[in-house]
Structure 1
Amino acid sequence: MALLALTGASGRIATALRPRLRATGHRLVLCDAPGVTVAEPDPTFERTVACDVRDVEGQAEAFAGADLVVHLAAYADERSWPDILSVNIDGTRAVCEAARLAGVGRLLLASSVHAAGYVPVGSPLATDGMPLPAPDTYYGVSKAALEALGALYAGRFGMTVVSARIMNFDDSPGGPRSLQAWLSPDDMARLVLATLTTDATGHHVVWGVSRNTRRSVDLRPGLAVGFDPQDDAEAYACGVQERDPSLPPKLLGGAFADPGYRLGVPHGGTQPG
């Protein structure tokens, strides 16, 4: 079985992935910042490493022997430019460089739909292939930079890198937008395993989305690396629409692309819903 290194190991996505990856028999190196607690590591399959995401040498040591690095560590919404630059952009560069130094040939980088947040829902840009970056915030810019770094390390060092534009990751769809954009935990695990086993080489940008009936983006980029999602938000549609009958947004970035969403301010100056 393989050895997988996860950054941001205390976060929502990593926490959901861990039992699913352990169930496949894979061993995990769980990396997060000093002072951050990673809940209940299983000593049979997991070991934890306290290391700042910007620490190249420390992460290279943690990644030694890994078959895949799954990079999830980042601020997960809007922040000031210095914070975004330090953690999301410099941090991603450090992870890529640490993986190279450790001899890891495969990377899965957590990009975001917000790297293309100004792409209109239903436009050919979204439904046919993969659009160029059109970031909606500083956060979105950081994910566009992440994709560029993935392309650099794939091209210069011969690594296989998948940058996944994650849409709405959650246990179940929470609103009208997520009926189009939901990424289930099981499908996120399928994406990790596809990156681990793909025969594709080079850099690939894919949508991190489930096989939703109402999805607004193209599955073919993911299928090209073996990512074949199975879950469908439609199973939850009646409950979602009863709770919130509003229409989904017209841009992929949703509220992040609204004119009133302020750059550099957590949640755009609003409280998370």
Structure 2
Amino acid sequence: MATLLITGAAGRIGTALRPRLSAAGHDLVLLDERRPDPPVGDRERFVEGNVNDRTALEAALPGVDTVVHLAGIPTEDTWEALVEVNLTGTKNLLEGAAAAGVRRVLQASSIHAVGRLPEEDAPASVPGDRLPRPDTYYGFTKAAMELLGSLFADRYDMSIVSARIGAFGERPSSRRALRMWSSPDDLARLVQATADLREPGHHVVWAVSRNTGSPADLRAGEAIGFHPVDDASAVLDADERDALPDEDMRFLGGGMTDLPLGRRTN
């Protein structure tokens, strides 16, 4: 199997993916500023640092087949912080991967790259590679990250997947998540589809599950071998679904569309 580098490996998504990717037979290199929990296990190697630390990248990338780029600020923040981490950090990661001969990268984009799209304008189907319509500075940096993926795919014959993640979690946690949930198992399936790519190119896809009633058009992901199987409605029983908290449903990005631009959230 492949050797995968996970940036931001100690974060919520990286922590959920680790056991799933290890069980699939992959060796993992874990890059983060803090030690992962649970501790590093067999067939895992930890490199302390971040994507703006070139020394750490040089230590992490040799021998890697595919990068799973999860490192970044995951919500609205100051312009300066978002650009430094989400854009400059992604540029550094892609430069390092290209220099090390790594030809496959899955990078975590977000629903917020298209978060300002009114739900009433897209009741049935939103293509995975729809043109960006960001809802925040955070969403803008995710849309710009996708452009960096396109640039490096073209310049260095890399296979890069920009994955627009929806409402990630072990279980759906809101009414919006019933439509835009990204299950850990399905994200692991997208990592595998990326690791299996052999033709260069950039692909923007929905990294969401096959949720009943979802506006996410999954065909862009299916074209590269990503076939999600989980359904948020099937994970919860009727009483659990009825008890889910309400959420702003005017835009794909939910309540984040009303956050003051550039104001850090907790």
TM-score tier after normalising by the smaller chain length: over 0.9
5+ residue gaps, structure 1 = none
Aligned to 1:231: 230
Show CA shifts across 1:132-160 (max 9, x none): 11111111011011101000000111000
Aligned to 2:219: 220
Task: Using the TM superposition, give the Cα deviation of residue 265 of structure 1 relative to its aligned residue in structure 2, in angstroms.
Answer: 1.5
Q: Secondary structure at the match of 2:58?
A: helix
Distance 1:50 1:251, change over 3 A: same
Q: What is the percentage of aligned positions where both structures have the same residue? A: 48
Q: Secondary structure at the match of 1:255?
A: helix
Aligned to 1:10: 10
Distance 1:256 1:245, change over 3 A: closer
Q: Which amino acid aligns with 1:134?
A: R
Distance 1:125 1:247, change over 3 A: closer
Aligned to 1:170: 169
Q: Structure 2: how far apart are the matches of 1:117 and 1:200?
A: 30
Q: Structure 2: how far apart are the matches of 1:53 and 1:40?
A: 22
Q: Structure 2: how far apart are the matches of 1:241 and 1:62?
A: 42
Contact 2:137–2:261 (8 Å) recurs in 1: yes
Q: Which amino acid aligns with 1:114?
A: H
Q: Structure 2: how far apart are the matches of 1:125 and 1:133?
A: 17
Indicate yes or no: 2:112 matched with 1:110. Answer: no
What TM-score, normalized by structure 2, do the two folds share?
0.94
Task: Using the TM superposition, give the Cα deviation of residue 102 of structure 1 relative to its aligned residue in structure 2, in angstroms.
Answer: 1.0
Indicate yes or no: 2:205 matched with 1:201. Answer: no
Contact 1:111–1:166 (8 Å) recurs in 2: yes
Q: Structure 1: how far apart are the matches of 2:165 and 2:18?
A: 18
Task: Using the TM superposition, give the Cα deviation of residue 38 of structure 1 relative to its aligned residue in structure 2, in angstroms.
Answer: 1.2
Contact 1:211–1:230 (8 Å) recurs in 2: yes
Show CA shifts across 1:153-206 (max 9, x none): 001110000000000000000111000000111001001001001345300000
Show CA shifts across 1:21-73 (max 9, x none): 0101110000012xx12123444210100122112343133111111000000
Q: Is the deviation greater in 18-27 or in 55-64? A: 55-64
Indicate yes or no: 2:254 matched with 1:266. Answer: no
Aligned to 1:50: 48
Q: Structure 2: how far apart are the matches of 1:71 and 1:78?
A: 19
Task: Using the TM superposition, give the Cα deviation of residue 215 of structure 1 relative to its aligned residue in structure 2, in angstroms.
Answer: 0.9
Q: Secondary structure at the match of 1:266?
A: coil
Indicate yes or no: 2:54 matched with 1:32. Answer: no
Q: Structure 1: how far apart are the matches of 2:214 and 2:125?
A: 9
Q: Secondary structure at the match of 1:210?
A: coil
Contact 1:13–1:185 (8 Å) recurs in 2: yes
Distance 1:97 1:195, change over 3 A: same
Q: Structure 2: how far apart are the matches of 1:125 and 1:101?
A: 43
Task: Using the TM superposition, give the Cα deviation of residue 237 of structure 1 relative to its aligned residue in structure 2, in angstroms.
Answer: 5.8
Contact 2:123–2:215 (8 Å) recurs in 1: no
Q: Structure 1: how far apart are the matches of 2:120 and 2:25?
A: 39
Contact 1:72–1:110 (8 Å) recurs in 2: yes
5+ residue gaps, structure 2 = none
Count of aligned pairs between the two proteins: 264
Contact 2:248–2:255 (8 Å) recurs in 1: no
Q: Is the deviation greater in 130-139 or in 152-161? A: 130-139
Distance 1:238 1:132, change over 3 A: same
Q: Is the deviation greater in 231-240 or in 24-33? A: 231-240
Q: Secondary structure at the match of 1:163?
A: strand
Task: Using the TM superposition, give the Cα deviation of residue 241 of structure 1 relative to its aligned residue in structure 2, in angstroms.
Answer: 3.5
Distance 1:114 1:46, change over 3 A: same
Distance 1:69 1:252, change over 3 A: same
Task: Using the TM superposition, give the Cα deviation of residue 257 of structure 1 relative to its aligned residue in structure 2, in angstroms.
Answer: 1.2
Contact 1:212–1:233 (8 Å) recurs in 2: yes
Show CA shifts across 1:221-269 (max 9, x none): 11011110000011126244421474760211101112xx1111123xx
RMSD (Å) for aligned C-alpha atoms: 1.8
Q: Structure 1: how far apart are the matches of 2:5 and 2:120?
A: 36
Indicate yes or no: 2:133 matched with 1:134. Answer: yes
Contact 1:125–1:131 (8 Å) recurs in 2: no
